[in-house]
Chain A
Amino acid sequence: MGAADAKVSEIVVMKLSGHDLACIRGGRRVFNGVGFSLAAGGALILTGPNGAGKSSLLRLIAGLIHPAEGHVALEGGDPELSVGEQSHYVGHVDPLKPALTVTENLAFWARFLNGARAIDEAAVVERGLETVGLADLARLPAGYLSAGQRRRLSLARMLAVPRPIWLLDEPSTALDAASQERLQRVMHTHLSAGGLIIAATHGPLGLAEPQELRLGMPSTGREDSCVDIDALDAMP
């Protein structure tokens, strides 16, 4: 393994792009004609009002929902793996089991996401917990964690398993000032090692010169590319 790519992953991604993406959820067209292009080491911030489709776009890139139109293309990377399989996805909820301890939760994801690759699990978990400042709570059942601590444990998951693409849905939710600073540092390290970050956010994430994709705005002048906010009220 080379020294340059040792940090982020052995997979080197060149460019991630979306072309003319459209998404339909529950019979409602959430967005239309959305495109983006993100080179290695770049960050893309998704902004827009509630219901504009920020989370839907992230889930679409992750492969959890299929686009109604358009496609997501990846240059570089492992040709045998899909985009989702090379990505970390941090959603609204943190995938933790309350009955398991902090260490057990992180160790499970480290082992599950790493697949057949042999890793020094204990060291990886310990390092991850230390980076997000949860080392003192390692033996506490995750059910007792606060919202911010749960989010930090989710971030530790991304550090424990190297993946080139990070898809973050409101990553700074519930984080205190110190943790937000830590998140910035972690994201910066990831980017400078050639990783990609796509994050949906309402506030500033402190990234240096990110691209911004504003959803829910009439971007191309076509009327149908604008999300009809009134339609949200009609939703059951």
Chain B
Amino acid sequence: MTALSALFARDARIAIRIGGGAMMGVLFFLTVVTLVPFAVGPDLALLRRIGPAILWLGALLSSLLALDRLFANDHEDGSLDLILMARLPLELVVAAKAFAHWVTTGLPLVVASPILGLFLNLEPTALAATGLTLLVGTPALTFIGVVGAALATALRRGGLLLPVLVLPLTVPVLIFGVAATNAAVAGPVPFDTPFTILCALTLMSGVIGPFAAAATLRYGME
């Protein structure tokens, strides 16, 4: 497993170095969340009601920000050739890269969400519920996103193709993430019901995502 841990460590290290994607996601998250009150107006009751949805939307958009470079950088500098030739299953390689990406860009969003929640006048229960649902839900966004990242690399198209492909697939995660948060704050559905579905979505995408992305790279990189 040293080869996989080496890959994880390399990707994580590049992300936190200058020019890496780790801080960009959080700054974009901050920008999106602070823009909303300017657009909606200083209605504290309204912000409190739509706060979890805004945090989830912000996290969704931020988590896709650096994703299109996940394989494109490796493709451009030839690393992907050596990775494809490696003695490791490509599925595990994709999973390791996706996990490194989540740790460096998804996890900071989770950590930042309670602070940004304060900007939106969220109560402590809502802050905790948003943080928890983001912690469970953002891996699903990354694992769905790697399929789009692989496809964008295989098609030699970057930029907007990725969000156009990936965002529709993330709708269930968004629905159950926000639903679970709202259930924790206002009810009437118990928190567990949407939350367990959110967990199931993450587990499913964690299995399907690496296989789909690996298949895309294998047949697309010729």
Contacts and interface: CB of A to CB of B under 8 A. Distances in A.
Nearest to B20: A99
A116 B7 CA distance: 13
- Of A64, A92, A95, A112, the most chain B CB neighbours within 10 A belong to A112
A201 to B, nearest CB: 18
Nearest to B5: A111
Contact of B77 (A89, A94, A111, A112): A94
B1 A95 contact: no
A39 interface: no
Contact of A84 (B17, B19, B74, B85): B85
B192 interface: no
A97 B78 contact: no
B10 A64 contact: no
Contacts of B77: 93-97
A10 interface: no
A166 interface: no
A113 interface: yes
How many residues of B sit at the interface, in one of the four size bands? Answer: 20 to 34
B1 A116 contact: yes
A89 B79 CA distance: 11
B40 interface: no
B86 interface: yes
A81 B81 contact: no
B13 to A, nearest CB: 7
Contacts of B19: 99
A114 B5 CA distance: 12
B128 to A, nearest CB: 36
A100 B18 CA distance: 10
Contacts of A91: 78, 81
Nearest to A65: B222
A63 B10 contact: no
Interface string B188-222: 00000000000000000000000000000000011
Contact of A66 (B18, B74, B222): B222
B82 A94 contact: no
B220 to A, nearest CB: 12
Interface of B: 1-3, 6-7, 9-10, 13-14, 17-20, 74, 76-79, 81-88, 221-222
14 contacts: A62-B81, A63-B85, A64-B84, A85-B87, A93-B77, A95-B74, A95-B82, A99-B14, A100-B13, A104-B13, A108-B10, A111-B3, A114-B2, A118-B2
